[in-house]
Structure 1
């Protein structure tokens, strides 16, 4: 577009017109500097400036004045937009006809004024009248209609909303989600529960309503998986069942009809098998009890004897003469002597009715043939004072070294003597009441056998 002088000079500043009839002192004059910018207003100066062109209303058309103005050095009116052009004012018009920052009408007649430097991008990307093709369907549109078409094109590939990882054209997306997507929800046709499509196979492998065939190929063709166990147990006519007495030794196998007949006809045989099984189990129980008893035996040579329900047992001892309590047996070592303690709460012998009597006796052991006889280890009895303050406890201790001449310390027979050796007057009933030997209706007595001591302590 070619601009007229009146158009491109609108952005320039010119000197004001001065009337020749006005006195010289009231007239204003302007100086146009050769380097002045056309966008900056000239500065007023005094009329005495040397050789400065004076322009008034009368001589504005003066050739010399116009020549001076048009020869002024100016910048392009688009210098703020980045144009570096600078030359005489008379050349500005020609420059604007080629200046890349000057706005011209769009070549597609969209009505927009676009700088030349942006025209190529405008025609290609933003012009409402441009012609462009859709990248997906290859149809041609104007710029305005392409913007409406973008985002609705049926050929545009989109990721499935179910996150199956597939890219499908928009026009096929609905069909994909309904019938092709691996992440779509589908109902199991057997139990009607919904599952993600790619997990349906795993569900069928354990679905209770999934049809399966009887493994014994009976007349029932198929049945739900969850009913198979009941079918095999109660309804299958070809399934071989073991006799209910198979654990007792019966080896019969047959279908349910023959099994019922077998049970009716073999009652005597089954009873005999059960009796044999019970006898065998009794031997096993006895063996297990023996093994458990050995595991629970004390092989340390020290017995801590806990006597509970002291009051009831004392009352029974006073009411029943000669009532004796015996401790669990214990050994002096794993292959040592087998011993047992006994106690008379109401006393025995010289301590009857007034003292607690305590004894130790030797029982027949498994390794007596390998031990030295007579028994010669020192034995001590301790009744514990259960006071709260341990430092103030006053335990009662009695001990002895066996007399080798006494027969009860010789190797015992399979029928040991009923009495042992000990202290008939171990602790008096009065002493038991004075101290905390009985607490929470419980008494503790320690029996210790020590092979290293030769003096009683």
Structure 2
């Protein structure tokens, strides 16, 4: 906004006399159309203090003065006659020298200046002078010139850019045109339009696209640059270059193709050698696994034979027991039926009781023997400590997809278990490892809930003595807090139990653990006594 006028061209300055103390006193006499004609008139109409025409005339110490020339704190009464005479005097506009032809009574002069077209006002847009005494201040113009100034010369007026149609201040138009993306500029290569004169004009923003796609003088690399042709040719000459150097391009491409073929052959040979070594390793591993499986089958056959013999022995003892029971029943019947010889009956009864005691002892011994056979049988079919060596391939893809990975089932004693890995578990960036108790064929013979101690180990391929491992065990608190994890399974498997943050994804991908995008995880489980 324009600042308030405070200089020597204020309305008061133009019609009143301004004293040294900065106050405005009587009317300016030089503005009168008809000058005061006599000394008497001057004495009646002029203030004895400021020598201007009386303004609110009053008497003070026998002389006429303006009301504003009386010292402060003194009461005074206006002289109405003088005030009316002064108000009716005709004066010209103080801006007559600038061209204003207005004239009227003194009383209307101040109101005229509010509307005078020659009165200086500040630019409504607030533009400043760039030179002269007013340099750096808001520009002043006659009121009548403001519309023309705002339309034609004010540096802060808004203009419409003819190229991008955006509104820009006049003082900023030249810098805008230097950056305007729609301003036409000559092609940097000075290309011309066929059939026209002069350099082709392109919008500033379209220059990169013009050089990349259209300009016939833009130099481009030969399409056979990658094969060794190091020529840069103007776009319009490219077809001619390709035709003239076709035989050279052919030799370069054939040389490059042969080189790539040799590199491909070497790469394929390396892959073939690696695959051959891998196949040999797998065959050796399969052979060792086959021998191990054969041993297990032989042990199973021997265990089955022992089980058959134990079953037959149990059947024999049961038959013998049954026959002894029949004999005892017969003896008791004979005792009841025979009443002739009580002494003989007592002896027979004592013998029968002795035989019964012997038979019961034999049965107890056979039951103990059967129990020992079962324990031997169970000890041959499983081990008290279970260990799973689990090789996991495609580790990077599994971590990226955050998918769960399950192992094959394995036995700990007669308990059936299964391992599970959840990549990027609840703790962000961590790997979770869990153990499931699965439904097995011996669950009715086992003690529940199960207690065990587990150890998780990631093998270090570089230093086998520096594997990454943690150990934990199922305590009484865990049994009470997570009973569904350790009870006898009713579904295919129970709820899992393990660790949420075994190792971070970043650590597991280190070379010492991850080899050929694979890791080896050992899960060791040791059964603990029931609580």
* TM-score range for the pair, normalised by the shorter chain length: 0.3 to 0.5
Q: TM-score, normalised by structure 1?
A: 0.40
Relative to its length, the structure with more helix (as a share) is: 2
What's the TM-score, normalizing by structure 2?
0.35
